[in-house]
Amino acid sequence: MSRHAIESETPWWLESGPETCQFCQHTFHYEAGYHCIHCDQPICPLCVMELEDSRDTVCPACRDEGAK
Ligand SMILES: [Zn+2]
Ligand SMILES: [Zn+2]
């Protein structure tokens, strides 16, 4: 009964999951991700942006648009 050591540095939520981030193409677990309040796209924890004033979670694309 030998166990392999954990070989990857990838956090659990970046292991293959049902959701694919449209911005970095990582797959992630739905529970660990976010949704953009504007376009409703799933966003991984690495790409999610939080608006400073409203604390809404948005995708990088929508944040860029809103920042103009
Ligand atoms: Zn991402
Ligand atoms: Zn968006």
Low-confidence ranges of the chain (pLDDT < 50): none
65 CA to centre of ligand 2 in angstroms: 9
| Separation CA 62–CA 68 (nearest Å) | 10
Which pair of tokens denotes residue 6? 């954990």
What mean pLDDT, rounded, does the chain reach? 83
CATH of 13-66, one of 3.30.40.10, 2.40.50.100, 3.20.10.10, 3.40.50.970: 3.30.40.10
Q: Which ligand is nearest to the CA of 60?
A: 2
Residue ranges per domain, the chain? 13-66
1 CA to centre of ligand 1 in angstroms: 37
Q: Which ligand is nearest to the CA of 65?
A: 2
27 CA to centre of ligand 2 in angstroms: 17
53 CA to centre of ligand 1 in angstroms: 22
pTM for the full model? Answer: 0.68
Residue 19, pLDDT score: 86
